Chain A
Amino acid sequence: MTDVVTPTPTPASGPARAAAGGSGGRRLGRAVPYLGVVPFLGYVTLFLLWPTYIVVTGAFQDDAGAPTTRNVAAVLSGGEYVDAFVRSILLSVATALAGAVLGALLAWAVAEGRPDGLLHRVVIAAAGVLAQFGGVMLAFAFLATFGFNGVVTLFLADRLGVDLLAGGSWLYGLTGLVVVYTYFQIPLMLIVFLPAINGLRPQWQEASAGLGGTGRAYWRYVGGPILAPSFAGATLLLFANAFSAYATAAALVSQGSPIVPLQIRSALTSEVLLGQANVGKALALGMIIVIALVMTAYALLQRRTARWLR
């Protein structure tokens, strides 16, 4: 109440202003609460913003630190880099769509049950583990299933005479990545989309039925349009998740670098070619741009969905 900074001194606030040391002191007093967030801001600056700054500026520097566009040019013109971006994007789009459709279906099936029930708890816990925790371990799960000595491979070979690896070891290449990524996109979709499905009030279904609408009419005119922004947003999130995934690919693919995260791995770990030191940073910058675009679209969609699902 006495916090307003007035340009001319007034008698009522005279003593308070004198105590605070004049108008400069009052302005300082207003800044004091902001000091409370300084530790947090300092930490985030040091370990998040500064590395990002290093990546963004390093992409435009050569080995000696002088400004250059050679790294960015190498990424944009170099066949293998552009191919890697294309493959990363295709992989992410394919697994995002597959995961979105299958995950939405699973979310619908789970949402029908009791929110406190055992099934719900098991599914949420399992989805959390498979979606976020997996990485390297899921790669080994799939090696145990479809690898050279995998359970399914041997089963198909012994019982049905089908050689799963006839066309080459697909599991260790892009096809394998599609299969494994879809596997963890489905639980992620479940986690992200389940609140949206739970937000569909049963009264809407009843109202639609009461007005003579069939199940299909409900989904087409009521449920679908309400869920559409959430569904699109969740799909974008799945895209970003697949695009930035590294651990699974690193564990499965040991030769070659078909996707961008693996290109970054080889830029960081292999012998540095002359003049190529900062190509990894240029690749990382490219990734930031793609993901930033996707997350912006996601944020815009989130604002739209919040209207209906309060």
Chain B
Amino acid sequence: MAEPRVRIRNVSKSFGGIDALKDVSFDIAAGEIHALVGENGAGKSTLVKIITGLQSSDRGSILLDGAEIRFHNPMEARAGGVLAVYQDPKLFPNLDIAENVFMGIHPKTRTGLIDRKLMYRRTREVLDWLGADLDPKAVVVSLSTGQMQFVEFARALFDANEKLLLLDEPTASLSPNETQKLFEIVKRLKKRGVSILFISHRIEELFGFADRITILRDGAHVVTKDMSEVGQAQIVQYMVGRDITDLYNGAHAEGAAAVGAARDKAKAVLRVEKLSSMGEFSDVSFEVYPGEIVGMAGLVGSGRTEIAKAIFGAIPLEGGRVWIAGRQVSVRNPAQMIGEGVVYVPEDREIEGLIADLSVSDNMLLPSVVKLAVAGFVNAREEAKIYDRYTQEFQIKSAGPRTKISGLSGGNRQKVVLSKWMSMSPKVFLFDEPTHGIDVGSKAQVHKVMRELARQGMGILMISSDLPEILTMSDRVLVVSDGLLVAEYLRAEATQEKIMAAAITGKDGK
């Protein structure tokens, strides 16, 4: 049998002690559409970055046509015939489509000047080949996201020397028609003999399109199979099928009492109805009761963070109503919502949750510094008390209140983020990926804190992409898919497979 076009051999990569990829190996033949599937954090994007040279692997190698490749940047990769198209278009908004396609590699005339006619003609050609009815002279800023995605494709495909094309969630921002067009393009590339690695969450679209599929889970290779050999349920099983009993100990306490019993919505500590925000989510309604932990699962980009931020007032809420502890509130900004008793622990901890160059104490006291102040002056004594109390209660390891918070470990930083809200007497805690990127010991501690908060009567909404965490911690599980709330499961009936299936297909399987 001929040597496969692409061989990925034992690729491993870790970031600061956390393994993103563990010894991943598989092949892609020339003219093969190879699907790559896995949960968020399974390592797909890391693999793509390693192949194109944005990251380097710790171990392992990648062979293209028998020769090892090691690129240092996307331009080098391009020269080597390896191209990637990502989800968020990195384009130059003030320039037109043709300029974006050819930036850095404009065609020249004999005099050395840019041959603009040729540039527009070749752009026109590639756009036609893509089936996109776009004017090469259109300024990019006036395009829709889907159209921008096509410009990205044009940029990747115009010189027809591709050997390997990597597509990272290419259909995420495309309409059904645009998606069809994309599939046609990919099929044409396949005829040309290009190897295609197609990352997607939309498993149902892969049938009748992809040739083979590789599933990654927690950074490791699970299985590679022909598409004809697997069904959707099986794929989901491979994606999430892990033994969860030994991961998180301890059952959740009696917060579940509110569940199952007939629920009076007025008693909910957080209630939302028909929330919508253009382009992010729509028609979202749910309740969180005191003492409950409600897990919110879904794929990355499905809108969960936006829902939480909108409830918190950090991004505009266009439609819908919000009640806090039975009282309707008109959401304006975070300061106001904090006053109402809603607090938000951000997903992007380093940028949104903490101020890196400030001290541990300053970070911890930032929300409450105004409250505690005496005639505008900082109340050092009260602040010290709070610092002591929470460092002890949450066992935060720091060299002192004045140390820079960037010197703390990830788990300790998260605990500081949690404790900063404690002194504001919150009623509702919105957690966004609370244990993302922190060590196991700290994870357990954060979970313990969350359970304690619930026990004290707070309502907790926990956004998480970690399915075991969702299953262990939640009394109820909400699933968000593509901006819509598509399923709700009680703890007893929830399984990883059901949740993942709902997140992917948008149907709750009931």
- Asked if chains A and B come from one complex, the reply is no
Mark B residues whose CB is within 8 Å of A. Answer: none
A: residues with CB less than 8 A from B are none
